[in-house]
Chains A and B, each alone.
Chain A
């Protein structure tokens, strides 16, 4: 029986968010909090030789200036991964709260704490830092074996990690006579999450413990990292996560919480706030790894893949953060999406002097799909095949099972999503209509697939915990450690909980705030796991609570346990469907009974040892103004198989957002760096070209609902997947329109100008008037 799941219930937080009542971190912070301003390095690589704080300290209102010479010498990791008790699988601990060895332009060197914002800002400008400068390097491949001091001494060649996949015998297989060789290098940029709420946190002390209120996706992980960074027992730290204004992975990392926690200890436990400026969010939080990928495919004339080689170079930036996990996940897609018997794949994650790369929506897959899908189009073109028709031949077939993850492709999903996408956009007619175009303005249609893994098992722990508490009126509080970050998991959880317990959706009260003192342990919002992972513990805990309720109902109704059910908030005798009492009546009695008082609650953890493939595609139609080097996106359709939809309206909304991010990835977004200094050039919302309202066409989101067999609710990943395939689909459409294959994203006018000029398109354009 399922009543709530599958319905487009209104968001449980919508009322508060449209009235301004939803409180975010800054809304909760006391007005008398001390303000911390961070002094950032003005060189990209070097050693701090001295910090002169005298002038800064003389600014009225300044409470304290702390520097990289003051912080504990205790390196800590920041990645928002579940901790591993196996030292070999622990995240790399490579940074201090403030750093003497500065490794990117903007590294954290000192902090001013002041009574107010103006004093803090003035004083931060007056802190004088002297450096011994080292050569710096911004490119991942150049950083490998760079002739200069290593960015981290433990990694003399700057390579953070290198892993590989070997299948069959690539070298022998590529010797097969008659093979067609297709080779390409595909580049992706450094981009940023651009949640509208900047990262912000504040910390204070009470009873010898530190409380940090933070705009984070991962409160329980932040507690652990703060404990590690400060060298204090983890239980001495309490993290509170209120509503947050978006995260997209940036806040799946310990950002400034450890520093803020330490600062409050330096001012006697007074509240200290670190409120990142937008410019800092761009440079001093996390970015998406820029990855350069090299693919060589040996293809038989019939299109089958004989041998393939893959190399990728992932730009880690200055500190490890999520590190190699991103490149490794991207590489993992390569042998699976288009299976081939002979594969040689290598992924390198390399320290550079760029801002730190961490998690971002898609976690390596947008980069991998950019490279892999562009390359697939290049093969199709070389073979003279249609991109869709060719993919149907070689894409992961139904029944494919990955040996490592044990993930299975249970359905004919790829063909289903392509069929749906083709029909929605009118692929075949347009493909025909756009053949053989001339003139300055041309249209094109293209597509790309994506592969995605829902959660992190078996690479990492997957578990979720849930607590349910029955109120006197029969309503239920539900708490989980997985966090609402805008994606709508609170609403989906309320729907699942309602069905698991057997009560109306309205009777579920989701506790949105996570507070590590009271919230059951959960690792937070990341991967695309919330709905999938949370579902296990919600169903299990809901059934436990229901069982306790019905066990208590036996006493009140004198029926057997087997003859009782909880349906829509009513205790029902199953044999004849008779309603015996309401859950509210039962709950009141249970609490206040003079003979048997019991607070009915349930709490449980479920460890998930499964994972789920999530697939889909993007179809895009563009109009290319060749002389102006501009692409106008006319139509775009994403089709997803994310299993059964828990809430169709919210699922659709989430796909829109991912498509938007994917469009920006394809056409406009890129964080740029000054090659002379390493400084970010466009770390603000004017110069970083996030799509505006006027830069999108109508976004169409469609679904194929093949229930995921391992999930209690038949669901799987949707959060990140929408951002994975738009960019290569747009590239495919531009290729269709112009015959020009662009191998770097974003495909800005600057890039298209060079590409079109090289392809000789301008001569033609100039005689034909627009």
Chain B
């Protein structure tokens, strides 16, 4: 039995927004795999909750008229992994969220909840950062769309304003077209774990596969919020893919990341792993893109 003061259930976006306005103190609960745990811990004990879990309109993945990928915020991880659009255009996202917890957690956990938590270790977040995802929020004033990097304000805090709920995550066509990526979750176990470090890389090669037109890399747990390693990206851009390039790209991430010492892992260890995973994820991305190493 959870220590819940009151539960308000929304069945539509409109109703959710109204409840948000009426109960500004209430906590939104999507799948609940984080919120309920926090209530039990005492952190959110006695909370009022706005449950949006039953809002089926926020589930599912589609292409909009501009062929941007639209992921409803309540889409669970299992559905993302199994979705044909995801598999075709951004398979790495499906692979990344397929490493969240275990099957049960992937059935209940939603991508909206994963991002709205604002935690740096979220398995979806580094890939969404690396693919320049756009967060869609709906509030009393209508719809607001912001790049995911702006959505994360600080650890545990995202830019959801009063009355708003997150309604979708968009991957622009320009971001995913001809792009291939790989995610490495570094954790202590092969299941039921949170990332010690998450590294997501993707590349777009020139049509002749000889040049890296664009490389993007983002990390979870390399700082208080997920982050991009732009120095490394610049190192790779316009270069011929090679083992040496992978090395330079990987070492350059140290310019951008700033993991901390915690009981979960030491800073120098995380830095070491960040470099090694960057190298491997880069090489794998090149391979997936059909590139050959010079």
A residues with CB within 8 A of B = 116-118, 121-122, 125, 627-629, 668, 672, 674, 681-682, 685-687, 689, 691-695, 748-750, 753, 757, 762, 766, 769-770
Contact = CB atoms under 8 A, between A and B. Distances in A.
Interface string B188-225: 11111110100000000000000000000000000000
For the complex of A and B, list the 4 residue pairs with the smallest distance between their C-beta atoms, beginning with the closest. Answer: A694-B190, A692-B191, A694-B191, A627-B276
Contacts of A687: 264
A694 B186 CA distance: 14
A692 B269 contact: no
A605 to B, nearest CB: 46
Given A674-B263, A749-B269, A692 B188 contact: no
Contact of B189 (A125, A668, A762): A668
B189 A692 contact: yes
A753 B1 contact: no
B193 A686 contact: yes
A118 B3 contact: yes
B263 A689 contact: no
A692 B190 contact: yes
A118 B2 CA distance: 7
B188 A689 contact: yes
Interface residues of B, number: 31
Contacts of B143: none
A668 B188 contact: yes
A692 B191 CA distance: 6
B73 to A, nearest CB: 24
B36 to A, nearest CB: 14
Contacts of B188: 668, 689, 748-749
Contact of B246 (A118, A674, A682, A769): A769
Contacts of B102: 692
Contacts of A628: 186, 273, 276-277
A125 B247 contact: no
A277 B233 CA distance: 46
Contacts of A122: 3, 45-46
Contacts of A694: 189-191
Contacts of B263: 672, 674, 681-682
Given A121-B45, A692-B102, A694-B191, 16 more contacts: A118-B2, A122-B3, A122-B45, A628-B273, A628-B277, A629-B269, A681-B263, A682-B263, A689-B188, A692-B192, A694-B189, A748-B188, A749-B196, A750-B265, A769-B243, A769-B279
Nearest to A122: B3
A121 B3 contact: yes
A685 B280 CA distance: 30
Nearest to A279: B41
A35 to B, nearest CB: 10
Contacts of A117: 1
A766 B275 CA distance: 10
A691 B269 contact: no
Contacts of A685: 192
Contacts of B193: 686, 689
B266 interface: yes
Contacts of A750: 265-266, 269
B39 to A, nearest CB: 10
Pick from A116, A682, A694 the residue with the most CB of B within 10 Å: A694
Contacts of A762: 272
Nearest to B272: A753
Contact of A695 (B45, B189, B283): B189
B84 interface: no
A121 to B, nearest CB: 6
A693 B3 contact: no
Interface of B: 1-3, 42, 45-46, 102, 186, 188-194, 196, 243, 246-247, 263-266, 269, 272-273, 276-277, 279-280, 283
A753 B192 contact: no
B281 to A, nearest CB: 11
A759 B52 CA distance: 54
A770 B275 CA distance: 13
A240 B43 CA distance: 37
B271 to A, nearest CB: 10
Nearest to A35: B1
Q: Identify whether the interface residues of B are mostly helix, strand, loop, or mixed.
A: loop
Contact of B1 (A116, A672, A757): A116
A490 B123 CA distance: 45
Contacts of A125: 42, 45
Contact of A691 (B45, B189, B246, B273): B189
B49 to A, nearest CB: 15
23 contacts: A121-B42, A121-B45, A122-B3, A122-B45, A628-B186, A629-B272, A668-B189, A686-B194, A687-B264, A689-B188, A691-B189, A692-B189, A692-B191, A692-B192, A695-B191, A749-B269, A749-B273, A750-B266, A762-B272, A766-B247, A769-B246, A769-B279, A769-B283
Nearest to A768: B243
Nearest to B276: A627
Contacts of B265: 750
B269 A753 contact: yes
Contacts of A627: 276
B182 to A, nearest CB: 13
B163 to A, nearest CB: 30
A629 B3 CA distance: 42
B215 to A, nearest CB: 17
Contacts of B272: 629, 753, 757, 762
Nearest to B190: A694
A749 B272 CA distance: 11
A748 B264 CA distance: 11
A120 to B, nearest CB: 10
Nearest to B41: A279
A117 B279 CA distance: 51
A686 B105 CA distance: 12
A681 B276 CA distance: 28
Contacts of A629: 269, 272-273
B3 A695 contact: no
A149 B243 CA distance: 60
Contacts of A770: 280
A628 B283 CA distance: 15
A440 to B, nearest CB: 9
Contacts of B196: 749
Contact of B190 (A674, A695, A766, A769): A695
Contacts of B45: 121-122, 125
A122 B279 CA distance: 50
Contacts of B277: 628
Given A769-B243, A769-B246, A693 B191 contact: yes
A268 B269 CA distance: 57
A750 B192 CA distance: 19
A694 B101 CA distance: 12
B19 to A, nearest CB: 23
Given A750-B265, A769-B283, A118 B190 contact: no
B293 to A, nearest CB: 9
Pick from B194, B243, B264, B272 the residue with the most CB of A within 10 Å: B272
B101 to A, nearest CB: 8
A753 B270 CA distance: 10
Contact of A686 (B192, B266, B279): B192
Contacts of B46: 122
Nearest to B4: A118
A697 B260 CA distance: 33
Contacts of B3: 118, 121-122
A121 B45 CA distance: 10
Pick from A118, A681, A685 the residue with the most CB of B within 10 Å: A118
Contacts of A748: 188
A689 B264 CA distance: 11
A770 B282 CA distance: 12
Contacts of B192: 685-686, 692
A196 to B, nearest CB: 13
Contacts of B189: 668, 689, 691-692, 694-695
A118 B280 contact: no
A405 B266 CA distance: 47
